[in-house]
């Protein structure tokens, strides 16, 4: 069988802050349904790369392709194309970024009404479906402050899924949570991966990287050090820097 065409293609992505190169000539293909774990030491450029994909950060050079949408760094991107790209890419951040003055249900429904022109009833029906999926239907009328950190992150996942994205980006979604609450979030992500959702996950959860992702990308100093099947990279890394990183995180 011929390999699947990439859903996302990154070509020679570079991102600088002043003279500091944060992402340095990164190229990567992600096929539909793949789960890619991105690991590496702090300051490696992992989160910045993720934010370049949906243009929360604008690359200084390179090309981003998402399906039939091409974004050339430096070229003017019209608002329609930007909105189309962001609707196709859901993102979950380290911090939950929920609206504190809105109920859980409204947090999930509001963007559907604004971005997808769904009626309130349609949006609420979809929101309840997703809240049931993440185990939080009973929290629909609560405010975020009445929910635990793990629950708030699961609400944030439901909110991102509510726009029916083709790709989900996760930026260290468990890093602000204690281990027990983090397991709640990882369980939802495992279920999501099992449905065939295309996912790129920046994570320090090494068991998730090995057991759930199809491939692992290791970054350091803005570059990809190695990239391959998850079990191979995690158990038999080819790069000395990867071996040192894994020894440090696995032996803590």
Model pLDDT, residue 2: 47
Q: Is residue 47 part of a domain?
A: yes
Q: Is residue 223 part of a domain?
A: yes
Cβ(22)–Cβ(200) under 8 Å?
no
Below-70 pLDDT ranges, the chain: 1-4, 252
Residue 204 structural domain: 8-250
Q: Is residue 3 part of a domain?
A: no
Model pLDDT, residue 4: 66
CA 188 remoteness from chain centre: 13
Give 37's strand partners.
201, 216
124 CB contacts (<8 Å, ≥6 apart)? 105, 109
185 CB contacts (<8 Å, ≥6 apart)? 150, 153, 154, 157, 173, 174, 177
Q: Is residue 72 part of a domain?
A: yes
Cα separations (Å) of 10 from 33, 38, 51, 204, 220? Answer: 17, 14, 12, 23, 17
What is the SS3 assignment for 228?
Answer: strand
- pTM, entire model: 0.93
CATH code (residue 155): 3.40.50.300
Q: HEC states along 38-98?
A: EECCCCCCHHHHHHHHCCCCCCCEEEEEECCEEEECCCCCCHHHHHHHHHHEEEECCCCCC
Q: Is residue 37 part of a domain?
A: yes
Structural domains of the chain, count: 1
Q: Is residue 2 part of a domain?
A: no
Model pLDDT, residue 1: 47
203 CB contacts (<8 Å, ≥6 apart)? 37, 38, 39, 170, 172, 173, 174, 209
């Amino acid at each position: 069988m011929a390999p699947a065409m990439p859903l996302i293609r990154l070509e020679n992505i570079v991102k600088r802050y002043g003279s500091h190169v944060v992402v340095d000539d990164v190229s990567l293909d992600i096929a539909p349904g793949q789960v890619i774990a991105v690991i590496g030491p702090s300051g490696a450029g992992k989160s910045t790369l993720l934010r370049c994909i949906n243009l929360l950060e604008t690359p200084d050079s390179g090309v981003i392709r998402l399906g039939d949408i091409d974004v050339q760094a430096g070229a003017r991107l019209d608002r329609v194309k930007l909105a189309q790209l962001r609707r196709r890419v859901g993102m979950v951040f380290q911090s939950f970024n929920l609206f504190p003055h809105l109920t859980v249900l409204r947090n999930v429904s509001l963007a559907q009404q604004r971005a997808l022109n769904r009626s309130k009833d349609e949006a609420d029906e979809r929101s309840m479906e997703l809240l049931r999926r993440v185990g939080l239907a009973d929290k629909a009328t609560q405010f975020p402050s009445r929910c635990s950190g793990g629950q708030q992150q699961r609400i944030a996942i439901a909110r991102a899924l509510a726009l029916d994205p083709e790709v989900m980006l996760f930026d260290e979604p468990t890093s602000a949570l204690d281990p027990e609450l983090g397991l709640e979030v990882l369980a939802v992500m495992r279920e999501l991966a099992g449905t065939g959702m295309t996912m790129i996950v920046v994570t320090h959860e090494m068991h998730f990287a090995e057991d759930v992702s199809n491939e692992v990308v290791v970054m350091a100093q803005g570059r990809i050090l190695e990239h391959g099947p998850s079990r191979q990279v995690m158990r038999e890394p080819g790069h000395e820097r990867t071996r040192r990183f894994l020894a440090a995180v696995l032996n803590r």
